Amino acid sequence: MRLKKKYIRIIMCAAIVIVVTVAGFVLASLIPDPPVEQVNAARIALSEAVSNDAHTYSKNLYSDAKSLYDSAMTSWQKENLRFIWFRDYSRAAEFAGMSEQKARQAARISRNNMTDLNILVGQKLEKLNHIAGQIDLRFDGYPLSSEVWSRISKGRMLLRESELAYRKGDFAQAKEKVDSSEFLLVDSYEKAIDHLEGYFASFPKWKQWVDRTIRESRQHQSYAVIIDKYSRKCFVYLGGIKKHEYNVELGKNWVGDKRERGDKATPEGMYRVVRKFGIGRTKYHKALLIDYPNETDKAEFRKAVADGTLPATARIGSLIEIHGDGGKGYDWTEGCIALTNEEMDVVYRIAREGMPVTIVGSTVSLDKLDE
Amino acid sequence: MGLAVISMIVVLTSCAKKPQAEIDAANAAIEAARTAEAAAYLPVEFAALQDSLNAVMTAITAKDSKLFKNFNAEAARLAEITTLANTVAANVAARKEEVKTEVSGLLTSIKTVIAENAVLIPKLPRGKEGAAVIEQIKADVATVDAAVAEAQSLFDNGSYMDALNKITAAKEKADGLNAEVKEVLTKARIRF
């Protein structure tokens, strides 16, 4: 009887242990699984998005992904506070899933944006460097307004800043700078080109003068001088063939024809040497006085005064010469044409009174200037 | 019996606490690195730090969801992150000092060039005022002056990286201007 009671107790204890163990397993299996995998996947996706600079190049998506990740963590931590069997991680998992999706999207878009920006900024830099080169080529020494030069200067500085940012891989800053530079440079270049095109509208007339001068040199087997104001060149022809080519310096307002005395403009037209001044007879080494103003210039001056484009008090200019003392590297004369003394010696030696001196804006048309 | 099971569960689930002190320390260290502008000066290292902290926080929260908890490993990782964040902050300070020295040097040297330009420009030939080349030079001088003022302001506000970009471009411009003015003076046979 006693032994039987002992067996019953042992069996009871074993049964309790089994029941408790089974109950434990059953209860444990009822505990909901936390969203570890989903949150880790979202975290890795966010990290990849950061390494792809999504925080810069896909700001909104990255920001959304980050907020969703924070929401997932908050939701998860909040659920952890509840009694273990009452926890529900579905919202946290959902947030994490959405975060991962947005982060991957942000990384992809960021990569695309970076590639696009790289190409776009690269192209803009190339284009603006070309424009800056064209400004150097066409407008160095060209009398544009101080406002235009200021815009060009600022545009160039921003262009350089953009290049520095671009080289560092900071495409967002490079884009911002290049856009500002583009606004300044393109606008200034267009204004300058408009100005230049307006000036070159006289090219057909200039070409006629040049052709006539060369033809005369050929027919009379004589010397003739052609001054190209735009390229700052003096061409000496003999028998219709170019023999010498020199650099010249002009009046500072060289663009356009001379209109009145003191305007510091170099006249345009077909002239002739009327007098030679050797050493001691001019303050500019040697000089060749030309017949400015000729009858055409006088008629144009009278017309300008009559129609009011020049004041009644205006006086016509005179004493335009080709003279020495040049080679200073800038336009400094009152409207004359300056050569270096050595070159002036050559021109002075070959010049005779009556020698043609044709002064034009350019001997080359605007569309051929690049060549 | 039921009471015994519940008591056991309560005991087991509350056997370890989150390493809050370590979490706070790591967060503070990362915040200090952020304030030191680690994102701008050492972006890769800073991003790695943040990701490490996120990973540990995920692990802690995951463990917090379990019946049996032990945060020793996470506490150790948090301590490592704190140390690393302090190192990053120190490295940022060193890198910042380098950039600051570079900008400061450029500011000093550009001011020397600007002072020299201020002496040279009035020597440009008389009667040249208003000439195209002078207009270009004047425009460049104004642009450089504005850029230097902007860079100085950025420098004074501690934005050394932005100041560096600005002053580098300005220095190139000032040097170019200096060379151009000297070329004009040389051609005009004017001593300088």
Which of A34, A105, A36 lies closest to A66, judged by CA?
A105
Query: Would the CB atoms of A36 and B165 count as touching at under 8 Å?
Result: no
What integer pLDDT is reported at residue B16 of this predicted model? 73
Distance from CA of B90 to the nearest CA of A (A): 22
- What's the rounded mean pLDDT across residues A189-204? 93
Q: What is the mean pLDDT of chain A?
A: 93
Q: What is the mean pLDDT of chain B?
A: 88
Given a cut of 60, whether residue A357 has pLDDT beyond it is: yes
Query: Would the CB atoms of B131 and A252 count as touching at under 8 Å?
Result: yes
Query: Would the CB atoms of B133 and A146 count as touching at under 8 Å?
Result: no
In chain A, pLDDT over 70 holds for what percent of residues?
A: 99
**For residues A189 and A129, what is the distance between their CA atoms, to the nearest angstrom?**
12
Residue A366 has φ and ψ, to the nearest 5°, of -60, -40
Query: Could you report the per-residue pLDDT of B36-61, keeping only the tens digit for each?
Result: 999 999 999 999 999 999 999 999 99
Query: Would the CB atoms of A332 and B187 count as touching at under 8 Å?
Result: no
- What's the rounded mean pLDDT across residues A208-235? 96
What integer pLDDT is reported at residue A336 of this predicted model? 95
Question: What residues contact A192, with CB distance under 8 A and at least 6 apart?
Answer: A135, A138, A139, A142, A144, A148
Given a cut of 90, whether residue A310 has pLDDT beyond it is: yes
Query: Could you report the per-residue pLDDT of A127-175, keeping only the tens digit for each?
Result: 999 999 999 888 877 888 888 999 999 999 999 999 999 999 999 999 9
Candidate from A80, A164, A328 with C-beta closest to B65: A80
Q: Which residues of B touch A156 (CB under 8 A)?
A: 143, 173
Question: Pairing mode, if any, of strands A321-323 and A287-290?
Answer: antiparallel
Query: Could you report the per-residue pLDDT of A233-264, keeping only the tens digit for each?
Result: 999 999 999 999 999 999 888 888 888 998 88
Q: How many CB atoms lie within 10 A of CB A115?
A: 12
Candidate from A50, A140, A149 with C-beta closest to B139: A149
What integer pLDDT is reported at residue A371 of this predicted model? 65
Given a cut of 60, whether residue B4 has pLDDT beyond it is: no
Query: Would the CB atoms of A73 and B58 count as touching at under 8 Å?
Result: yes
Query: Would the CB atoms of B131 and A28 count as touching at under 8 Å?
Result: no
Banded pLDDT at B26 (limits 50, 70, 90)? very high
Banded pLDDT at A368 (limits 50, 70, 90)? confident
Which of B116, B119, B115, B114 lies closest to B147, judged by CA?
B114
Given a cut of 90, whether residue A31 has pLDDT beyond it is: no
Q: What is the DSSP string of A305-325?
A: HHTTSS-TT-------EEES-
What integer pLDDT is reported at residue B97 of this predicted model? 95
Interface contact B62, partner A, CB < 8 A: yes
Interface contact B188, partner A, CB < 8 A: yes
What integer pLDDT is reported at residue B124 of this predicted model? 81
What integer pLDDT is reported at residue B5 of this predicted model? 53
Name the burial class of residue A244, with classes exposed (0-12), middle (13-18) and buried (19+) by CB atoms within 10 angstroms of its CB. middle
Of A16-30, A64-78, A316-330, B17-31, where does mean pLDDT reach its minimum?
A: A16-30
Question: Pairing mode, if any, of strands A321-323 and A337-338?
Answer: parallel
Q: Sign (positive/negative) of CA torsion A74, A80, A86, A90?
A: positive
Quote the distance between the C-alpha of residue A31 and its chain's center.
65
What integer pLDDT is reported at residue B6 of this predicted model? 54
**Which among A142, A146, A199 is the top mutation candidate for probing chain B, defined by the most B β-carbons within 10 Å of its own β-carbon?**
A146
- What's the rounded mean pLDDT across residues A363-369? 89
Query: Could you report the per-residue pLDDT of B69-108, keeping only the tens digit for each?
Result: 899 999 999 999 999 999 999 999 999 999 999 999 999 9
**Residues A253-264, buried b or exposed e (16+ Cβ, 10 A)?**
bbbbebbbeebb
pLDDT top residue among A367 and B128: A367
Distance from CA of A325 to the nearest CA of B (A): 10
- What's the rounded mean pLDDT across residues B131-157? 89
Interface contact B112, partner A, CB < 8 A: no
* A359: β partners: A227, A269
- What's the rounded mean pLDDT across residues A209-221? 97
Closest residue, chain A, to B186 (C-alpha)? A328
Banded pLDDT at A68 (limits 50, 70, 90)? very high
Distance from CA of A34 to the nearest CA of B (A): 6
Query: Would the CB atoms of B136 and A16 count as touching at under 8 Å?
Result: no
What integer pLDDT is reported at residue B129 of this predicted model? 45
Candidate from A50, A157, A328 with C-beta closest to B169: A157
- What's the rounded mean pLDDT across residues A276-296? 95
Banded pLDDT at B175 (limits 50, 70, 90)? very high
Tally of residues, chain A = 371
Question: Pairing mode, if any, of strands A223-228 and A337-338?
Answer: unpaired
Interface contact B128, partner A, CB < 8 A: yes
Within a 13 Å sphere around the CA of B147, how many CA atoms are in the beta-carbon half? 31
**Which among A81, A328, A333, A341 is the top mutation candidate for probing chain B, defined by the most B β-carbons within 10 Å of its own β-carbon?**
A328
Interface contact B170, partner A, CB < 8 A: yes
What integer pLDDT is reported at residue B128 of this predicted model? 47
Banded pLDDT at B132 (limits 50, 70, 90)? low
